[in-house]
Structures are given as C-alpha cells and as structure tokens.
Structure 1
Amino acid sequence: MEKKIPTESLIQYYERIGYEVPRSLLTGGNGHFSVRKATVPIRKSPFNRRDYFKICLSSGSGKGHGTLIYNDQEINLPRPCLIFTNPSVPASIEVTYCNVNRVACLFNKEFIESIIPPDVQYASPLFNPQVYPVVALTEEERERLHVYFNEMQVLQESDYPFKWDMVRNILQLLIHEGIRLQQKQFLQTAAVRDRLVNEFFSLLNQQFPVDSPEHSLKLLTPAHFADLLHVHVNHLNSVVKKYSGKTTRVIIHERIVAEAKTLLRNTNWNIAEIAYSLGFEYPSHFNKYFKQFASVTPVEFRLSNTALAVHL
C-alpha cells in the first residue's frame, strides 16, 4: 500500500518548531500571517504537504549546501535565493551552510484570499505548482527583498490598526518580484504566456470588481470567452490548462466565488443582489453554487466573516 504523504497544519507547524501556537488559530480565526528570522547551521524539515503558503529568503556562506526536495525534484539551492512552496506539493528543505541567514513568511489562504488576481496566481510558483519554485538572486536583489521581510516584521509587531492591510500590500510586491525576477532569468518557461492566455485573463479581469448590484456579469462560461476571442472553446481550454494546470471553467468558477466572498464580506448588499450581480437569475442557484465551492452557504459565510449590519 502506498504511504500517504501527510499534510501539516499551521498548528502542527508551530508545535514542531517549538513556538507557542497563536491564539487566533486556536480560536478558529480566519486569516493568519507570520514572519520570522532563523539562523541555524543544520536544518531539515519533514517531507509533507501543508495547509499554508510559505516564502523563504535564504543566503549562506562558507562550506555546506542547501537542497529543496520538491515533489519528485531535487533542487540545489543557489546562494542567495527566494523559495516559494505551494501547499499542494510535498516538499522538504535541508540546509547545511556554515553560516546561513534565513527569513520566512507564512500565511494561509484566508489571509490572502481575493487580493491576488488569477493571472498573477498562475504565473507564481506560490499558487501554480508547474512553475519552478526557486529564484536565484544577486546580492543586490537579496538586500532589496530583505527590506520587504523586515518591514512586514516591524508591522507584525506593531499596534497600528491597519497593519495587516499594509502587510498584504508588501506581500503582493514580494509575489510580483518573484515573478518578475524569474521571468527575467527564464524567458522560455511557462511564465511567459501564450497571447490567447493573456487575452483570456484580460477579459476575465475586466469584469471585476463588481461595483453595482444593478449590473450583472455577462461572461460566465468558457464558451462566452471563446466566442469573444474567436477561437473554439476546446482550443481555449487546452491552451489555458497547459499554462495554468486548471481548466478554463475552474478558473472562472474560482474568480466568481472569490468575488462573491468579497461582496459578502465588504458590502451590505442582500443575497439576492449579490446573486444577480454575479450572473445568477435566482438566489437559490447562487446558494447552491457557492456552497459547492466554499462548503458553506452565503449566509453562513457572511455571519462568520463580517460584523456589518446587513439584511440577509
């Protein structure tokens, strides 16, 4: 029988490294973010999947090496480098540099949900397991990226009331920097997309954000996009899936659900208004659709994610 690769939760992560588990995780809080520095001569993490994202900035000097086991790949880590690990990909890292300086941030899906556009997600190894997870850096690039981590740590430890919004903005910069630097190094990789893929994501993004309950989304199916792009729907799906690893239909569904969560969390529109704005003729259809992808009803999601006084 094939041995099942375990999935490490955030709580298990904190217990493994000997840190106190944050209260927000124990009480069922949604978004979680943490950044910390580590200096260790030898480190080997367990080979597993995770229910969180992680970005690590690493540099080392002297004798030794760093290795990332990423699914079935064994990747020798350059010094310095930026490492992105996708939750769905089993991974382990071993570092044996004499002098290693690492700083890493980790966060769950809820913390970053709805703020990273789909086309950016599919260009980043953080979200797309088909993209190479390691970006080699020059010392100048390492120093510049280190400023991002330092700033996030300062904010994390501050009592500024909007600190997590600022952290999310810096995190977006870090994700974009990883994509930009990787594209500069590997111009022939999947990160450089087909023209049709660019046009598909451009059309998709033009529909969002939804700014009025009086106007409904028009492009809801792969066929709608294919018609506007003047290609057969099967060809569009094939090209998009080759780039992203997901079908056109799944990408559209994910974007609609992400927008639904944003509207439920941040507006006082009632459920019927949100349903109509997202292209659903009947609220009952939207309720069934949302629960299929989010595992809770729109009302349940709103009650657990916002303090707004709303008309349900």
Structure 2
Amino acid sequence: MENLVRFDNVNQYNQYNKNETLHPLINVVDLSKADPRTHRRQYFGLYTIFLKEIKCGDLRYGCNYYDYEEGTLVFLAPGQIIGIENPEKFQPQGTALVFHPDFIRGTSLGRHIQEYNFFSYEVHEALHLSQAERELIRDCLNKIQQELQHAIDKHSKTLIVNNIELMLNYCTRFYDRQFITRETANKGILERFEALLNGYFESDKPRTEGLPTVAYCAEQLHLSPNYFGDLIKKETGRTALEHIQAKVMDMAKERIFEPGKSLSEIAYGLGFKYPQHFTRLFKQRTGQTPQEYRSLN
C-alpha cells in the first residue's frame, strides 16, 4: 500500500502537526511544533499555503521538485498530492495556512478563488519573496491568527476571508514582479515555445494529433498550463492560445499559395479536424475566408 498521509479536514492536519484546532475549517499552523518525522507523500483536501522560513530540500510534486528555499510560498488546491523524498528524519519549519473549501463558500473569495492561477502551479514555479514581501505575508497571517484566537462573533468570518483575499492579491502582485525579475529565463521559454511550434508544424503531428494545445505545449516545456499561460500573457500581451492561433495563421498564409493544394488539404495538414473550422478561424483572424485571401493575393 502506498505510504500516503491524507488530510481531508483541518483537524487532521492540526493533529499531525501538534497544533490546537481553534476553528474546524481554518488554521494558521506552526510547523515547528510538529514532532520530527520522515518524509511521506501527502494528500490535501484543503487549500494550503506554505511559507518556509528556512531552506529545506526535496519537496516533490509529481515527478519534479519545487524550487523551495527560504522565504518561499507554495500553493496547493484541494485534491493535490505532494511528496517529500528523504529517508532521514527532519524537523518541519515554517507556517501553513490551511482552510477547507466550505469556509469560503458563499463569499466573494469562494466565487473567484479559481482566478488565482498559482494554486495550480507546479514545479520550479513557487513564489520567492523579498524581505519586505515576506513581512506583508506574515502580517496577513498574523491578522488571521489573531481573529482565530479572538472570540468568534458575526465579524470573524468576514475579517478572516478578507485577509486571505488580501494576501492572495499581494501574491498576484508578487508573481507579476517575479515574472519581470526572471525575464531572462522567461525569454528562454518564449524561444523554446516558438521552436516547439515550428517543429510541431514541420512534423506529421498535425495530421496525427491535431492542433497543438496549450496543455501540450506546457507539458513539453515542463511547466504547468496555468503558469505557462500566465507567463506568455505577461511577456507578450497575448494568451498562449492566441499565440498558437497566430502561428497557425502564419503557416496557413504560407501554404495557401503552394501550387496544387486544396484548402481542405491545407486544413488537415495544419491539424484541423474539419475544413470548415479552419475557414471559420481564418476569417476571424484575417477578415477574409481562405479562398478570398488566395484570390486577392
């Protein structure tokens, strides 16, 4: 049987880390209170945000490792599994904010939490904080903890949810900063993305596998789809899908003038399942049908 620890509710995670349960649906967990333990795979049925205060190693998601250092934030959505590989015992350190999806149901955050794409980021996509940024995050966590220690009243949930939302909005800003400060690495990804698309359309893959998808490109570049999409949008101003469609149109405009090729052959060769889908996209992007474009040029 797989050595997997499950956390389906906040109380289970509190007990695992020797923390008191102040609220059944949310807690700010001091990981240093936990007993030393060996590394095991863990399933989370909770929203979880880890803030590491010291460098630690080998936090693994899937088959890859997090770039996980001091002052790093990692985000997990319910249903995710992380694994830490090391047979030796270690002392957990840092802070974790954990809350059950039920805690934010019926709130503005509950309706919009899926817009925080970083809950679906994966390997080497953690958020690295400056000292000033870390202090802002700590301040949000401290306010949440103060509310949990305060006698629960009609204002408690609103204040806690507002502080979670404030922290997530700060994280959105900090990720925007990280995309900029890692511009050199990002440009390398853009170049690889362009090379990937060129190689794809020069191969037989369009006929056998169809049009390239954002998920396919992200996988080939070893990125999560959400992180990849956010990076492309911030670097180019266009979504990854728009970038793919622009490449398809560039290839189509070249092939339209190849002698003896029908428009249906061009559509199938580019990966379209039906020629009419090719015609529709071409007209959306250029204002002309492929036949009109061929005739006018």
Q: If the length of structure 1 is used for normalisation, what is the TM-score?
A: 0.49
Match of residue 94, structure 2, among 95, 102, 107:
102
Q: Which runs of 5+ in 2 are unaligned?
A: 181-185, 187-227, 241-279, 285-297
Task: Please list, as runs of the form range in 1=range in 2, the aligned pairs for 1:230-309 lying within 5 A after superposition.
Answer: none
- 1:46 CA displacement: 2.8
Question: What's 1:8 paired with?
Answer: 7
- 1:117 CA displacement: 7.1
Matched, 1:152 2:144: yes
Kindly indicate whether the alpha-carbon contact (under 8 Å) linking 1:148 and 1:174 is maintained by their aligned counterparts in 2: yes
The aligned amino acid for 1:34 is N
Kindly indicate whether the alpha-carbon contact (under 8 Å) linking 1:71 and 1:89 is maintained by their aligned counterparts in 2: no
Task: Please list, as runs of the form range in 1=range in 2, the aligned pairs for 1:23-172 lying within 5 A after superposition.
Answer: 25=24, 32-39=25-32, 46-60=40-54, 65-93=56-84, 102-113=94-105, 114-116=107-109, 121-126=114-119, 128-129=120-121, 134-159=126-151, 161=153, 162-172=155-165
Kindly indicate whether the alpha-carbon contact (under 8 Å) linking 1:125 and 1:132 is maintained by their aligned counterparts in 2: no
Kindly indicate whether the alpha-carbon contact (under 8 Å) linking 1:183 and 1:191 is maintained by their aligned counterparts in 2: no
- 1:84 CA displacement: 1.0
Q: Classify 1:191/1:15 alpha carbon distance in 2 versus 1 (closer, same or farther; 3 Å).
A: same
Q: Classify 1:171/1:13 alpha carbon distance in 2 versus 1 (closer, same or farther; 3 Å).
A: same
- 1:196 CA displacement: 6.9
Q: Classify 1:15/1:150 alpha carbon distance in 2 versus 1 (closer, same or farther; 3 Å).
A: closer
C-alpha separation in 2, matches of 1:56 and 1:36:
9
Higher relative helix content? 2
C-alpha separation in 1, matches of 2:71 and 2:19:
26
SS of the residue corresponding to residue 77 of structure 1 reads: coil
C-alpha separation in 2, matches of 1:137 and 1:19:
26
Structure of larger gyration radius:
2
Kindly indicate whether the alpha-carbon contact (under 8 Å) linking 2:61 and 2:122 is maintained by their aligned counterparts in 1: no
Kindly indicate whether the alpha-carbon contact (under 8 Å) linking 1:53 and 1:107 is maintained by their aligned counterparts in 2: yes
Pairs aligned (count): 189
Q: Classify 1:112/1:196 alpha carbon distance in 2 versus 1 (closer, same or farther; 3 Å).
A: same
Kindly indicate whether the alpha-carbon contact (under 8 Å) linking 2:44 and 2:78 is maintained by their aligned counterparts in 1: yes
Q: If the length of structure 2 is used for normalisation, what is the TM-score?
A: 0.51
Kindly indicate whether the alpha-carbon contact (under 8 Å) linking 1:68 and 1:75 is maintained by their aligned counterparts in 2: yes
Q: Once the two structures are superposed, what CA deviation does each residue of 1:66-96 show, in whole Å capped at 9, x if it has no partner?
A: 3321122112312211121222221035799
CA RMSD of aligned residues (A): 3.9
- 1:54 CA displacement: 0.8
